[in-house]
């Protein structure tokens, strides 16, 4: 069995992403799914290095980016847990995510009061 994931990125004249969409061949969705941001990572075992593609559109708001990162941190912790069963490090990762999100919200509240 094989699944194909297609990612389309439309760029403006300055090569900044205008629209991002994706589709998976085994998805139940008929149409491509729009997205304001994406993170894609691959592990190169030979070089022992992560290769990444991080893109976001002009429409991605700062609060959405914080939500995206918080949820990504939490998902990474869950994935690490499934792979390693290392509860101590998973807790540290989730604590970091929670602290990150709390600090972001506190900063937003201070900025909104100014």
pLDDT tens column, 32-58? 999 999 999 999 999 999 999 999 999
pLDDT tens column, 76-112? 999 999 999 999 999 999 999 999 999 999 999 999 8
Higher pLDDT, 112 or 12: 12
Q: What was the pLDDT predicted at 112?
A: 87
- Report the distance separating Cα 97 and Cα 81, nearest Å: 15
Distant-in-sequence, close-in-space partners of 38: CB < 8 Å, separation ≥ 6: 7, 20, 22, 53, 54, 55, 56
Quote the distance between the C-alpha of residue 18 and its chain's center.
17
Distant-in-sequence, close-in-space partners of 18: CB < 8 Å, separation ≥ 6: 10, 11, 12, 57, 58
- Report the distance separating Cα 85 and Cα 80, nearest Å: 7
Nearest to 22 by CA among 7, 40, 41: 7
Tell me: pLDDT of 114 over 80.
no
């Amino acid at each position: 069995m094989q699944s194909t994931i297609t990612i389309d990125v439309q760029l403006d004249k300055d090569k900044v992403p205008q629209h991002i969409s994706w589709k998976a061949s085994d998805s139940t969705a008929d149409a491509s799914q729009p997205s304001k941001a994406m993170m894609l990572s691959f592990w190169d075992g030979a070089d022992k290095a992560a290769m990444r593609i991080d893109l976001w559109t002009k429409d991605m708001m700062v609060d959405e980016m914080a939500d995206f990162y918080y949820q990504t941190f939490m998902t990474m912790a869950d994935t690490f847990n499934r792979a390693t069963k290392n509860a101590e490090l998973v807790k540290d990762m989730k604590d970091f995510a929670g602290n990150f999100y709390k600090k972001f919200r506190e900063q937003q509240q201070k900025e909104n009061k100014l």
